[in-house]
Structure 1
Amino acid sequence: MTTTSPRLEQITPKNLDAALGIRVRPEQEFAVAPVVKSLAEAYVHPDAAWPRLIMDGDRAVGFLMAFFDVDWYEDGRCVRSGLWRLNIAAGEQGKGYGRFAVESVAAELRRRGTEEFYVTWHPEEHGPEDFYLGLGFRPNGEVVEGETVGVLDLGC
């Protein structure tokens, strides 16, 4: 039996259909936009968006999109980086791929010299709040478009 490790891949014409096929559980759809919307946003924000397919062997198990150096309030007073989207395929949840995705983004942020890692989540039932809190994110008191803003100190 061959053991594989998850990895991130850039979105290419070769894996686009696999990325577009990622679907979360139906009860989670309120909490995260579909991959097609994320890729459209990445297209219009190419300097900020970092979309990646999460692969395990030849299986697409999830999608993430990080953001780098975004003017959070669009007034120049606060520039942030973090996780914009995380979609783990319904049948692949609970296998560590979400943790891998967050750790991968954290590693990329550290590589870029970023000290704080931001994420937002819907604080409702079936949302990802417990997942992010379990990884060490803490609410910073902000709410943006109904979502809790969480931050993780990267200790750079």
Structure 2
Amino acid sequence: MSLKPGQEEFLAPVSYGLATAVVDPKTSWQRVVRDDDRVVAFISANFDPEAPREEFRSVLWRINVEGIDQDRGIGRFAVEHLREEARRRGFDHVNVIYEPGESGPEAFFRRVGFEPIGETEYGEVIAQIRA
């Protein structure tokens, strides 16, 4: 999958997101979104009520939408399914942690309903959406 120019700098390596599935596949949730036979998005989250930090108990780790397919509602569709999964697992919210920046994901997260609730010790934004 390719992103729009400038978006790559806000992305953790794919191996970071995939590591959560290897660590505990019971709490990891990963899906792709397809348009016919073509993968147009990937979303990865974790639901672990025993995570030592609250912001990691119900968290969106990654959402990537193919650059040419952005602004078609695919990301919103994926986030809605994420919220359904959170509710199914007994969570009332989902967090996301992102780095602020001009070409970053903040505008998208706000459009789909995430609201900033804090900041990490590294200056990243912690945002939350109700499930």
Class of the TM-score when normalised by the shorter of the 2 chains: 0.7 to 0.9
Structure 1 gaps, min length 5: 1-21
Q: What is the deviation of 1:91?
A: 1.3
2:78 is matched with 101
Cα distance in 1 for partners of 2:77, 2:14 equals 18
Amino acid at match of 2:98: W
Q: Distance in 2 between matches of 1:153 and 1:145?
A: 24
- Say whether residues 1:134 and 2:111 are aligned partners: yes
Q: Which has the larger radius of gyration?
A: 1
Q: Using the aligned pairs only, state the percent identity.
A: 42
Question: Over the residues paired in the alignment, what is the CA RMSD in angstroms?
Answer: 1.9
TM-score of the aligned structures, taking structure 1 as reference length: 0.73
Runs of 4+ in 1 over 4 A off after TM superposition: none
Residue 28 (structure 2) aligned to one of 46, 49, 57:
49
Give ranges in structure 2 of 5+ residues lacking alignment: none
Equivalent pairs, count? 129
TM-score (norm 2): 0.86
User: One-letter code of the match for 1:65?
Assistant: S
- Cα distance, 1:83 vs. partner? 1.0
Aligned to 1:60: 39
8 A Cα contact 2:60 2:94, kept in partner: yes
User: d(CA) in 2 for partners of 1:36 and 1:142?
Assistant: 24
